[in-house]
């Protein structure tokens, strides 16, 4: 059972749940935005999202067995602790669960066309794991878009349908804010994907993949990550100075809880050389993602 849990990456799934709950209960509810989903139907949305994300993790591990034997031999599960057949069965189950719950939810809220979203995302995750992951930057960009969709799906299922019932400017305003955070999620996840490619360069090269560090070299790609980190840090500090200067609590939080880990990432990227350095950089970006999205909790006080 533990090995099956490792396959679906429970920490990453927990982050998805946390992010969606923050948007629903820490942001939209506190602003008293008119939304459609009840607690139960919102739970269904979370289940569908998590199930599809978990399925994506499983198919990714199935496809990466040979590469993972080089990059992280001690963490290979498929073919060792869990057979490939059992892993694929888990993937099918999670995909059917996610798409099925999503289909029921879309029909329950009387927007059946939204069910296609879960089908498309499931298909893209499969194509990503089997084909696009080997293409230069294409896989990185796609998976970052899908990560940002874990935020945007709240707009599509909870706010957008409610606009037809009781439209208000607050719905549009809150949707815009969520979209800004989705861009934030896309950007830093893209940087993290590149960092992970640097960390996995040996296995990827052996697997015939075309990643940025393989094409440009580890040092040049590390420099690119440093520049992207600095751009992100300057953006965070600029927003804090120009938009949050008069809101001390959120300004303090943003500088230290978002800017702090970003600064650490930049310092680490400046002279990163070994696999452990890139692992730490990846963790720092995951912290930035969580603390950055969590700053939504302060928005109601500002508005």
What is the per-residue pLDDT across 78-88, written as a single tens digit (0 to 9) for each? 878 888 899 99
* Angle in degrees, CA 63, 64, 69, rounded to 5: 140
Higher pLDDT, 215 or 66: 215
CA dist., res. 132 & res. 137, Å (int): 9
Around Cβ 269, how many Cβ atoms within 10 Å?
Answer: 24
Domain segments of the chain: what residues?
A: 2-302
pLDDT digits (tens, 9 = 90+) for 36-60: 999 999 999 999 999 999 999 999 9
pLDDT for 246 equals 86
Instruction: Give me the pLDDT at residue 301, please.
Output: 79
Q: Residue 291 pLDDT more than 90?
A: yes
The gap between the terminal CA atoms of the chain, to the nearest Å, is: 46
* 3-class DSSP assignment, residue 217: coil
Task: Kindly state the DSSP code that residue 82 receives in the 8-state scheme.
Answer: B
Indicate whether 208 pLDDT > 80: no
Assess whether pLDDT exceeds 80 at residue 184. Answer: yes
Residue 75: per-residue pLDDT: 81
Between CA 198 and CA 228 the distance in angstroms is: 15
User: What was the pLDDT predicted at 99?
Assistant: 97
Contacts of residue 117, defined as CB under 8 A and 6 or more positions apart, other chains included, come to 102, 106, 153, 156
What pLDDT sits at residue 204? Answer: 82
Short-list 45, 3, 1, CA closest to 20: 45
pLDDT of residue 35: 94
Q: Quickly state the pLDDT bin for 95 (edges 50, 70, 90).
A: very high
Better-scored residue on pLDDT, 75 or 10: 10
Q: SS3 of 78, please? A: strand
Rounded to the nearest integer, the mean pLDDT of the chain is: 93
Nearest Cα neighbor of 33 from 142, 160, 118 is 160
Report whether 154 contacts 190 (CB < 8 A): no
Residue 284 tokens, joined? 């720092």
**According to the model, what pLDDT value does residue 42 have?**
97
Tokens 């992280």 -> residue: 72
Whole-number pLDDT of residue 78: 86
Q: How many CB atoms lie within 10 A of CB 90?
A: 19
- Assess whether pLDDT exceeds 90 at residue 127: yes
Provide the Cα torsion 123, 124, 129, 132; round to 10°.
Answer: 130
Q: Which of 17-26, 252-261, 271-280 has the lowest mean pLDDT?
A: 271-280
- Torsion, CA 112, CA 118, CA 124, CA 126, rounded to 10: -130
- What are 161's two structure tokens? 């349908």
At a CB cut-off of 8 Å and minimum separation 6, what does 230 contact? 266
- pLDDT in the model for residue 214: 93
Q: Residue range 136-152: average pLDDT? A: 94
User: What is the rounded distance in angstroms from the CA atom of residue 44 to the CA atom of residue 208?
Assistant: 40
Q: Residue 186 contacts by C-beta under 8 Å, 6 or more apart in sequence?
A: 144, 145, 147, 148
Q: Do 146 and 190 contact (CB within 8 A), yes or no? A: no
Angle CA(254)–CA(258)–CA(260) in degrees, nearest 5? 105
The answer on pLDDT for 73 being more than 80 is no
Considering only residues 152 and 74, tell me which one the structure prediction assigns the higher pLDDT.
Answer: 152
């Amino acid at each position: 059972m533990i090995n099956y849990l490792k396959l679906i990456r429970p920490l990453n799934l927990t982050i998805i749940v946390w992010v969606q709950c923050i948007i629903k209960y820490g942001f939209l509810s506190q602003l008293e935005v008119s939304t459609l989903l009840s607690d139960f139907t919102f739970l269904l949305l979370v289940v569908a999202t998590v199930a599809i994300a978990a399925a994506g993790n499983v198919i990714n591990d199935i496809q990466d067995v040979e590469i993972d034997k080089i990059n992280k031999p001690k963490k290979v599960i498929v073919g060792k602790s869990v057979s490939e057949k059992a892993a694929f069965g888990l993937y099918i189950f999670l995909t059917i669960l996610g798409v099925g719950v999503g289909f029921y939810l879309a029909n329950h809220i009387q927007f059946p066309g939204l069910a296609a979203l879960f089908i498309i995302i499931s298909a893209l995750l499969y194509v990503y794991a089997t084909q696009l992951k080997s293409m230069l930057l294409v896989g990185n960009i796609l998976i970052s878009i899908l990560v940002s969709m874990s935020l945007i799906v709240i707009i599509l299922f909870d706010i957008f349908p409610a606009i037809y019932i009781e439209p208000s400017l607050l719905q549009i305003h809150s949707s815009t804010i969520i979209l800004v955070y989705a861009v934030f999620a896309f950007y830093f996840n893209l940087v993290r994907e590149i960092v992970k490619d640097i960390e996995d360069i040996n296995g990827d090269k052996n697997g015939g993949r075309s990643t940025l560090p393989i094409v440009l070299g580890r040092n040049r790609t590390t420099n690119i990550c440093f520049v992207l980190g600095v751009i992100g840090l300057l953006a965070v500090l600029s927003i804090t100075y120009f938009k949050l200067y008069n809101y001390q609590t959120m300004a303090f939080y943003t500088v230290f809880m978002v800017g702090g880990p970003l600064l650490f990432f930049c310092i680490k990227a400046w002279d990163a050389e070994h696999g452990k350095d890139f692992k730490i950089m990846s963790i720092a970006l995951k912290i930035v993602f969580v603390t950055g999205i969590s700053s939504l909790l302060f928005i109601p006080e500002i508005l």
